[in-house]
Every structure is written in C-alpha cells, then in structure tokens.
Amino acid sequence: MATKRVPFWQREKYTPYLLLLPAFLILMFVVLLPLLFSLYTSFTGYRLIRPESLYDWVGLRNYRRIFTDGDFWSAFGRTILFLTIALNLEFLLGLGIALLINKITWGQRTLRTIMMFPMMFSPILVGYQFKFVFNDNIGILNNALYALGLSDGAIAWLVDKYLAMFAIIFAEVWMSTSVFAILLLAGLFAMPRDPLEAAKVDGCNSWQVFRHITLPFLMPFVFIAMTIRSLDVARAYDIVDVMTGGGPAGRTELLWTMIARTGYDNARMGQANAMAYVSILLSIAFTYYFFTKLLAARKYMGGAE
Amino acid sequence: MAEITLTNIVKNYGKLEVVHGINLDIAHNEFVVLVGPSGCGKSTTLRMIAGLEDITGGTVSIGDVVVNDLPPRKRNISMVFQNYALYPHMSVRENLGFGLKIAKQDEATIIKRVDEAADILGLDELMDRTPAELSGGQRQRVAMGRAIVRHPEAFLFDEPLSNLDAKLRVQMRTEIKKLHQKVKTTVVYVTHDQVEAMTLADRIVVMKDGYIEQVGTPMDVFNNPVNTFVASFIGSPPMNLLPATIKGKNIVFADDKSLPVPVRLTGLVRDGQEVVFGLRPDDLTPVGHGIAESGDGAKVTLDIVLSELLGTETILYTSIAGQEAQGKMFGPRIVAPGETLEFDVAMDKAHLFDAATGKSVRVE
C-alpha cells in the first residue's frame, strides 16, 4: 500500500511550532530586531544627522565614555534616589488611602473612581499643571503661601536644586499614588476576615493586627505595585522634561532625560543607546528584586482561605 | 476557667433584632453546646461572648467581670473558627506561639507551652510547615492548638467541624471530647449538627430564631423536649409528629383510629384538646424487633411504604392517619414495600404537645 507523504505543515509534531510562529514573528520584528539594532548602534558612533556613521564601529568607546562620565553617574544615582523616594512615598500614601477607603461603607465606589482621576491625565499635562503650581512668580503655591503670610518672598521651587527635585517627586507621587491605593485596596478586599478576628481574640490590638496579619497579607500586592511602578518611574521623562527640563544646571537630570538629550538634541544616538542599555539593566535589576520578593511573599498565601 | 453569664443579651443589625434577650449561665468547666438551624442566632451569640460583635443590650460576664466594653484581647478567651483562620504566612509553630508572643511571654514559656499543645494534639511532625501544606483535619488541629496554648478562661468553638468530611468530623469530634477531658476549661461550642451537640455537650442549648427554646442535659433534651421544635430538631431520624384530638382517655387521629393517653400524661390534657402526638422512630417497632418490650404498650398495624437498611437496624417508612411516619426495626430482616406489620408503640415514651402553642403538655 502506497503511503502518501503528508506535507510537513500537516504533521502533528510540527503543529505547535506552526501555531506559535505568528507570535514569534511579531515579537521578532517588533521587539527583538529593534533591540538588536540599538545594541549594535551602541557600539558605533552613530549620529542622527550623519546616517553613514551607522557603520562607524567604535567598539566599547561609548560605554567607556559614559562610565567615566560624572554627569552620567549623577543622573544614575539621582534616578535611583528619585525611584526610592517616590516608590516609598507612594506606597505609604497608597496604603493609607486604601485602609481608609476600606473602612468606608457609603460612597466607596465614587471615591474609588475619583481616586483614579490623576492616572487619567497625560503625564505631560500633569507636568504643565505642576509647573504652574510651583512657578515662582505666578504659581498658586507661592501666591497661597504669601497670602497666608507663610512666606514673604518668592520661593524658587523649580530653580533651587533640592526644591526642584522635591517638586518633580511631588508631581510623580500625585499622579501615581492611586496605583498603589487601587492594588492595595484590591488586596484588602481579598483579605479573609477570619485570621483578623483570630488575631483579635489571640490578644492583638489594632496596630498588632495590622502589623502581623494585614501587612504580611498585603505584601504580595505591594510587590506587584512596586514592580509595575519601578518600571514606570525608572523611565520617568515627561514630567521632568516639562517641569525642569533636567535643570537647573542638570540638577534634576534623570537617566532618560539625559538619554533623550544626548540622542536627539545632541544627535549622538550611539552613545544614547549605550546609556539606554545601562538604564534597562537598572530596570531589570529592580524588577527582578521585587519579583523575587513577590514570589517569596506569595509562597505562603496558598493557605489563605 | 471561669463561668460565663449572659443576661438579657440582645443583638440588633440596624433595625433588625436577631437575638432577643437571651439568659444563660454557663458553669465553670462546663461544655455547653449552642445548637440550632442556620440563622438562629447561635453564632452571633458566640461572637458576642468573644467580643467580635457589639452587644446591643444586656450584659455578658466572664468570671466576675462584665466584658461588654472590653475588646476581645482583654477577655482572655480562645476561639476556634469554622475556616480555621490560621495565619497563612506563619509556620505551625509560629501560629501556635503567636498569642503568647503578643502577650510578651518569655521565649522559654512559649516553647514549653507550644510543645505541650503540639504534644496533646499530635502536631510534632508538622511544626515547620505552613498552613497551606496541611490537610483540613491538620489545620483544625492547629487551630485548636492555638486555642489551648494560651490557657484561656474559656474556649469558644464556632462550627469547627463543618468544613471537614464526614469521617474526619467524627474523628475530630472524639478528639475535642478528649481534649476537654484533658484540658478542663469552660467551653462554648456552636454547631448546627444535633449529633455533635448530643455527643459533646454537658448541656445543650437549643436555639431558634434568636430565642432559646430549651436548655438541658443531652438526655433531658432528648427525653423531655419542651416543644415540637426541639422534639423534631434533636434526634435522628426526627420524632414523628402527628396531629390528633383528645377524646376522653384516648388520643384520636384524623382517621378515627385511637391510642390511649399515656399514664404519665393523664390529667395534663383536657377533653377535646387539639394535640400533636410525638413518638420517636425508636419507640415504634415491629413486634419482636424492639429494644425492650414496652409496659403499657399499645399495638398498631401499619403498611410499609419503604425500608432503609442500616445494618444493625432498618428504618421503616409508613403512614399513620395519612401522615408519613417512621419506625425502626432492630435485629432487622428484609422488609418488602407493601408488607403489613404489627408495631409496638412504647406509649410510656410518647409525647403530647398542644397543637396551638406547640408546647409539651408537661410544661404547660
């Protein structure tokens, strides 16, 4: 009996690969190729205004330059500082908001919706809004302080190096605290009531119940929020660019404002890509850290009923 | 290690009153079971004792202290929850020791008491596991361990066995009984399962719709139910309850058949009174298949509708005056549906309730 050979795409052992193929192709063109291309350019002296420089292989020169560049390391350190302060503030405020909203029985839905408003605005507009709030001449903050008699002169919010940093952190926190609040509120909703009551009977006061029962239960949710937000904050650009443009004198320069300036304003795309790779490694490090914490915290939650 | 006294306890949720002024004295080291159908207020009552629900009216005292306004942590009680309520992020050892740690006991005491509890409940092998890694029965044991390490004034159990499968439930029931014999303490135990109530309790409190229907020892509640609710709730299969009328010295059923009024109840009924005749299936047995021949036994002839074989006994479904009734056959043989058998009626164990009030004629 003559067996007719089945064409290979109809053979069972190839089916999974065939079905996965579209996803592979899309990922390759959309993610992998650009990544490899930018990795390649980071080893060239590629300048946007001189396309032929794309073939100007310079080896590790870009990396050597940025690693020996004090400004880069300042921006790097400032990004970590910015991230640490913003994430912790957002966590604490978000936790507070979530705990308060969880207590409310009336109007909770409405409050939850209102709470999300800041997230609905474009970061650029949030930047402009706070640029106006903190403006030393016409800003409402200075006007309010003056009218209340709390200050007698114009405070240069966006010019002083500490105050400028404070101002952009304030804007970032204002916009994104609700991410924490929403995730933690979801955690509180999912929290079983019994262990709380057991703890009360076991002798805990309210603080101890929170500290020993509620908080450990919320930690996975905290780490999820931290993972999301650390990716978000590490690539902070729009608010900073609008409010201070990385100024004064580079004192609020974060990694991505620096990368954008190097790549687009100075047209040194090769070097910008080298920086971008370093910053991506930073993001990966943070994500990995929080994800490890998340897995550790979640390990126990199987028993929560 | 204290008595618990409830005086006129009332609980409202908004305008809805769910517990209507309960009075109950629980003695030192007594095992009291609150039993009743869902929504009867038994759990609410327990949670008021624990301090997890506000008390709308009346007072709860533990020992000599009125605890109405004390938070749970100051009442020195332990509670075992239906869903175990273990702390998911702590190991078994940490779960057991948590209450002591919070109470700032020194390390040595904690270790000693935790080991002691683990020993009593056979948890030694499981000490380093987390609750997620335990089976239902093991979790329940940890929950009980957590309750005993603190040496509380009283244990409160809120339906602790209802999440376990039938076999485990029976096993854990025995363990709770043993535990109480080892660790002498006042226990308040809530369940909807009358078998648990009968087997565990020193005293049973039967509740319905936020009222206490009857308080008494298991034998008392079983033998002398004060009303038709208690009669039908306690005992399995439930007591047969058949409407009838008193005519002279006879109880006359809807189909004009009659039985004599039991000797011990004569004088408690009046001529023409509408009553409910109550008879446990154990007291309606085919001739020759009863537990003991009854003294003033009456005899009836009944058709069998259905029989359920249980091994040592068979439940016989029949009908008396158009009402379904159940009898029991001890030392059974196979009974075919449609068979007609002569039954002994143990009239000295029969009950009569007033049809209008549902109360036993003995308490009226």
ipTM of the complex: 0.81
Residue A23: the pLDDT is: 93
pLDDT in the model for residue A303: 39
Give the C-alpha separation, B12 to B164, whole Å. Answer: 31
Does A19 reside within a domain? no
Across the interface, whether the CB atoms of A194 and B83 are under 8 A apart is answered yes
Report how far residue A202's alpha carbon sits from residue B152's, in angstroms, rounded to the nearest whole number.
10
So what's the pLDDT on residue A305? 36
- What pLDDT, on the 0 to 100 scale, is given for residue B44? 92
What is the nearest CA distance from B32 to chain A, expressed in angstroms? 20
Helix/strand/coil (H, E, C) string of chain A? CCCCCCCHHHCHHHHHHHHHHHHHHHHHHHHHHHHHHHHHHCCECCECCEHHHHHCECCCHHHHHHHCCHHHHHHHHHHHHHHHHHHHHHHHHHHHHHHHHHHCCCCHHHHHHHHCHHHHCCHHHHHHHHHHHHCCCCCHHHHHHHHCCCCCCCCCCCCCHHHHHHHHHHHHHHHHHHHHHHHHHHHHHHCCCHHHHHHHHCCCCHHHHHHHHHHHHHHHHHHHHHHHHHHHHHCCCHHHHHHCCCCCCCCCCCHHHHHHHHHHHCCCHHHHHHHHHHHHHHHHHHHHHHHHHHHHHHHHHHHCC
Interchain contact B105–A (C-beta under 8 A):
no
Number of A/B CB contacts below 8 angstroms equals 92
Domain that holds residue A280: 29-120+176-303
Q: What are the C-alpha distances in Å from A4 to residues A1, A10, B169, B233?
A: 9, 13, 63, 75
Distance (Å, whole) CA B22 – CA B210? 8
Q: Is the residue at A256 inside a domain? A: yes
Give the number of other CB atoms < 10 A from CB of residue B65. Answer: 14
Instruction: Domains for chain B: give ranges and CATH numbers.
Output: 4-233 (3.40.50.300), 240-354 (2.40.50.140)
3-state helix, strand, coil in chain B (%, to 5): 30, 35, 35
> How many domains are there within chain A?
1
Task: Answer yes or no: is A163 within a domain.
Answer: no
In angstroms, what separates the C-alpha of B215 from chain A's closest C-alpha?
27
**Cβ <8 Å between A303 and B88:** yes
Residue A141, both tokens: 């903050």
**Does B88 contact A300 at a Cβ distance shorter than 8 Å?**
yes
Q: Give the closest-approach CA distance of A202 to chain B in angstroms.
A: 5
In a domain, A72, yes or no: yes
In a mutational test of the B interface, the residue from A201, A219, A298 whose CB has the highest number of chain B CBs within 10 Å is A201
Q: Which residue positions in chain B have pLDDT lower than 50?
A: none
CATH number (domain holding residue A35): 1.10.3720.10
Which pLDDT score is estimated for B347? 86
CB contact under 8 A, A203 and B73: yes
Report A:192-231 residues touching B (Cβ under 8 A): 192, 194-195, 197-205, 208, 212-213, 216-217
Domain annotation covers residue A7: no
Contact A194 B150 (CB under 8 A): no
CB-based contact B40:B208 (threshold 8 Å): yes
Tell whether A302 is within 8 A of chain B (Cβ): yes
CB nearest A203 (choices: B87, B102, B156)? B102
How far is Cα B346 from Cα B297, in angstroms, rounded to an integer? 5
The beta-carbon neighbor of A302 closest among B52, B72, B132 is B132
Residues of A within 8 A of B92 (CB-CB) are none
Sorted by sequence, the CB contacts under 8 Å of residue B352 that are 6+ apart come out as: B251, B261, B262, B265, B268, B269, B275, B276, B277, B278, B360, B361
Please indicate, yes or no, if residue A291 is contained in any of the structural domains. Answer: yes
To the nearest whole Å, the CA of B111 is away from the closest chain A CA by 17
Longest dimension (CA), chain A: 102
Min CA distance, A46 vs chain B (Å)?
53
Instruction: Please report whether residue A136 resides in a domain.
Output: no
* Intervals of chain A under pLDDT 70: 1-3, 300-305
Residue A245 lies in a domain: yes
Minimal Cα–Cα distance from A219 to chain B, Å? 11
Contact residues on chain A for B50, CB-CB shorter than 8 A: 197, 201
Nearest residue on chain B to A296, alpha-carbon basis = B89
